[in-house]
Amino acid sequence: MKPSHIEHIGIAVKSLEEAIPFYEKVLGLECYAVEEVVDQKVKTAFFKVGDTKIELLESTDPEGPIGKFVAKTGGGMHHMAFAVEDVQQALTEVQEAGCEVIDKTPRNGAEGLKIGFLHPKSTQRVLTEICGNK
Ligand code: ZN
């Protein structure tokens, strides 16, 4: 797999409404999109920093992955996402290289992108996402 850049960093928050002012007023970034991702049971808010985005994640369901993470940790850095051309191809390649994956086939992420998660067991405990246009 050949990632072109860090596509985004995912940060789990209790409330987008509480978290957004830090990114806007303190860091001086602009929230350019808020979107619900039904598949992942989250509402997301996006900020651009160069080619990379900050993705804030608020759970819409306490039983969803972000709901459980926030209940356990109080929130914070959740995952890092690498940009690739072809997510299916990247998922196949990392498995061939011995990496365990959570998603064997891509699923739908925010902003119309395809995404897939690698298993933290294989990534030094950092939840790692790959994302791309196909
Ligand atoms: Zn993400």
- The DSSP result for 52-109, as a single string, is EEEEEEEES-TTSHHHHHHHHH-SEEEEEEEE-S-HHHHHHHHHHTT--BS-SS-EE-
pLDDT beneath 50, residues of the chain: none
Look at residue 110 in the predicted model and tell me its pLDDT.
82
Ligand 1: centre distance to CA 102 (Å) = 14
Ligand 1: centre distance to CA 16 (Å) = 15
Rounded CA separation 8/81 (Å) = 5
User: What's the pTM value of the predicted model, to 2 decimals?
Assistant: 0.91
Ligand 1: centre distance to CA 43 (Å) = 11
Look at residue 38 in the predicted model and tell me its pLDDT.
87
Look at residue 112 in the predicted model and tell me its pLDDT.
86
101: nearest Cα among 77, 83, 121: 121
Ligand 1: centre distance to CA 81 (Å) = 6
Task: Identify the sign of the CA torsion 28, 127, 36, 1.
Answer: positive
Rounded CA separation 15/102 (Å) = 26
pLDDT tens per residue, range 13-27: 999 999 999 999 999
pLDDT tens per residue, range 70-80: 999 999 999 99
Segments forming the whole domain that contains residue 126:
5-132
Number of domains in the chain: 1
Q: Who surrounds ion ligand 1 at CB < 5 A?
A: 10, 81, 129
Ligand 1: centre distance to CA 40 (Å) = 10
Q: What is the CATH number of the domain that holds 58?
A: 3.10.180.10
**Strand, helix or coil at 21?**
helix
